[in-house]
Structure 1
Amino acid sequence: MSMRHWAAAAAAAVLLAGCAGPSAATSDPATPEAPTESTTLTVITHDSFALSKEALATFKAETGYDVSYVAPGDVGTVVNQLILTKDAPLGDVVFGIDNTFAGRAVSAGILSPYTSADLPEGADAYAADDTHSLTPIDYGDVCLNADTAWFEAKGLAVPQTLDDLLKPEYANLLVVENPASSSPGMAFLAATVGAKGADGYLDYWKALKANGVKVVKGWTEAYTVQFSGSSGKGAYPLVVSYSSSPAYEHGTQALTQTCFRQVEYAGVLAGAQNEVGARKFIDFLLSAEVQAEIPEQMYMDPVDSSVELPADWKKYAAVVDHPIEVSAADLGANREAWIKAWTATVIG
């Protein structure tokens, strides 16, 4: 958010076995179709989803559902799989689609609208759009993180801005995530678009590539394996992570001039066999119990602003007052073109 805890990723066979077929429910064509419900509920998440066993047990006990959690990978993998299996949905509800992937998910028609009565006051400010297909659950600022001990040992100042990364003294020090497969990677790409403009971000990336940036598939490899400031003790003292990361990896700092605000959502999957349960799960994620767990379990800020944040979070997590901005409309309209151009420029 090591930083994030992970739910155990399900094996491919389990993923396929959990596929939810079309609902058998029927209704009078002249009346609205009632939401489907079954005794099972399949929750699709990214691999950084984590809540306490107690909270998950409470949801299961209160609903009586046999609940399965399937985590096929990072959010990019999740969205890709949900689109590919649109006609035979993998589950009933999804958590973890973020604002960089929201437009793609909504336009693909994989979600059903739902507005929760439990949405905290002010949380609608994080809405992805006006379709009500995605409910905001948490948010976090994706920022460059630095291993301060590494820089102190080298007698080198910690870079502060995106432009600093292009200086010769910071060559071969940065690891980033691929935006095609990683939500933090896409958030950082969006930050460069917001800072350099649609006409200038590729030139920035060309210069970053020339200065030795390393690209890996996702956050787990970047932060826990390649980053020198984490338990993996890798070779790179700069990494794309979160403003909250220093609360859990002391001796690191977030560079607040490089941040992009990421919002994570939950949504009912179109064609769900348990639409009632999917809605209940979204309400559960907005409950006071779960919102209070989010900072320490998933290392994000809850959308419920009344939640008291952990002491270490208050002490070490960076406060980002002015994140780099790209509108949801621009993200939805251009993300695929940006990724394609980035891939051609950086990966080749």
Structure 2
Amino acid sequence: MTMIGLTLSASLPVHAQDRPVLDVYTYDSFVAEWGPGPALEQAFEAQCACDLRFTAIGDGAAMLARLRLEGARTKADVVVGLDTALMAEAGATGLFAPSGIGNVDWALPVDWTDDTFVPYDWGWFAFVHDRDFDPPASFRDLAQSDASILIQDPRSSTPGLGLLLWVKAAYGDEAPDIWEGLADNIVTVTKGWSEAYGLFLEGEADMVLSYSTSPAYHLIAEGDDSRAAAAFDEGHYLQVEIAAALAGSDRPDLARDFLRFLTTDAAQGVLPTTNWMYPAVMPEQGLPDGFASLPKPDRTLEIPAEDVPAIRDQALQEWLSALAR
């Protein structure tokens, strides 16, 4: 090595070389330029003297599949972006460690007692549409209408899985009939949320499966009130997004520190206007302007996490059968 090379090597900051690395698996939109990832990375690194590295892996269901494939060999220390529909399946892998989180004043519509998975935001699934479009008021109305919809694949996407559970929770044994009626309304089934929402914005369908909070993005970030979320008579299915530490992490203390960080104002204050969901812990500044105008369902639908795996398998077969006809 030349003297110049030695000098340059020696001039590199020692702390940059020695900082511990925390690897976090998450979904694509979380680390987008407009997502929460960049701001959370900056805020956490300012207090942890570490290097926080996000790896985007499709959507939530795809992340869990990746973790199951990698098993104890995974490089991930933390995963961010699973949800309550995947929680029982994730817990059954044995890959996750207790969070170490103590008492938290959760701002959730449900009680939270799990000691492994940490909520960081939540919302209701909904179909988003242009405000000048007259949306159906129920799944039955949708199936009988000419409205076109974009949805996500439940095998790779948490919203896609949420839609299966939404229909099943609302209709039970009648769910196959609902799907048979909806099959003609579906323009396409995308791998994840980002692809479906992008197609909607390009005008490829009347409605897209998303969240009741999605119009807040257009209103707050773009000053555009032309999008709305349809209110369905059956009620809307609840999603709580969760994070967890991997049991095989080489940085268990740092992983737990990151989970605690997600419950603090530094993180919770960022999430409503970057991930466009309700915060799991109410920030000191409250909710941003624009959230008050969002629709809230009269009825919240939810299937207990421990019951989801069996119900999901049945619902998936019903969905596949309907779309194959």
**TM category, shorter:** 0.7 to 0.9
Structure 1, residues 245-285: CA drift from partner, whole Å, max 9, x if none?
A: 11223212212225211000110112111111110000111
What is aligned with 2:308? 331
What is aligned with 2:128? 145
Match 1:41 to one of 7, 13, 22: 22
Contact 2:107–2:279 at 8 Å: present in 1 too?
A: no
Contact 2:150–2:205 at 8 Å: present in 1 too?
A: yes
Contact 1:102–1:332 at 8 Å: present in 2 too?
A: no
Contact 1:179–1:186 at 8 Å: present in 2 too?
A: yes
Q: 3-state SS of the aligned residue for 1:221?
A: helix
- Note if 1:56 corresponds to 2:41: yes
Contact 1:171–1:211 at 8 Å: present in 2 too?
A: yes
- Note if 1:185 corresponds to 2:170: no
Q: Structure 1 residues 347, 72: closer, same or farther in 2, change over 3 A?
A: farther
Gaps of 5+ in 1: 1-37, 152-156
What is aligned with 2:97? 112
Q: CA deviation at 1:343?
A: 2.3
Match 1:312 to one of 264, 276, 290: 290
- Note if 1:281 corresponds to 2:266: no
Q: Structure 1 residues 172, 219: closer, same or farther in 2, change over 3 A?
A: same
What is aligned with 1:19? none
Question: What TM-score results when the alignment is normalised by the length of structure 1?
Answer: 0.78
- Note if 1:295 corresponds to 2:276: no
d(CA) in 1 for partners of 2:100 and 2:88?
18
Contact 2:139–2:178 at 8 Å: present in 1 too?
A: no
Query: Aligned AA for 2:287?
Result: L
- Of 267-276 and 118-127, deviating more is 118-127
d(CA) in 2 for partners of 1:124 and 1:240?
21
Query: Aligned AA for 2:68?
Result: I
Match 2:198 to one of 219, 224, 247: 224
d(CA) in 2 for partners of 1:339 and 1:204?
13
Aligned-pair RMSD on alpha carbons?
2.2
Q: 3-state SS of the aligned residue for 1:119?
A: coil
d(CA) in 2 for partners of 1:53 and 1:293?
10
Query: Aligned AA for 2:180?
Result: K
Q: CA deviation at 1:55?
A: 4.1
- Of 317-326 and 92-101, deviating more is 317-326
Query: Aligned AA for 1:120?
Result: D
- Of 335-344 and 57-66, deviating more is 335-344
d(CA) in 1 for partners of 2:183 and 2:40?
44
Q: 3-state SS of the aligned residue for 1:298?
A: coil
d(CA) in 2 for partners of 1:99 and 1:335?
12
Per residue, is there more helix in 1 or in 2? 2
Give the share of equivalent positions with the same residue, in percent: 30
d(CA) in 1 for partners of 2:103 and 2:141?
44
d(CA) in 1 for partners of 2:43 and 2:189?
40
d(CA) in 1 for partners of 2:282 and 2:324?
40
- Note if 1:240 corresponds to 2:209: yes
* Paired residue total: 294
Contact 1:120–1:304 at 8 Å: present in 2 too?
A: yes
d(CA) in 2 for partners of 1:300 and 1:311?
13
What is aligned with 1:68? 53
What is aligned with 2:116? 133
Q: CA deviation at 1:173?
A: 1.1
Q: CA deviation at 1:213?
A: 5.0
Q: 3-state SS of the aligned residue for 1:158?
A: coil
Contact 2:59–2:192 at 8 Å: present in 1 too?
A: yes
Contact 2:264–2:281 at 8 Å: present in 1 too?
A: no
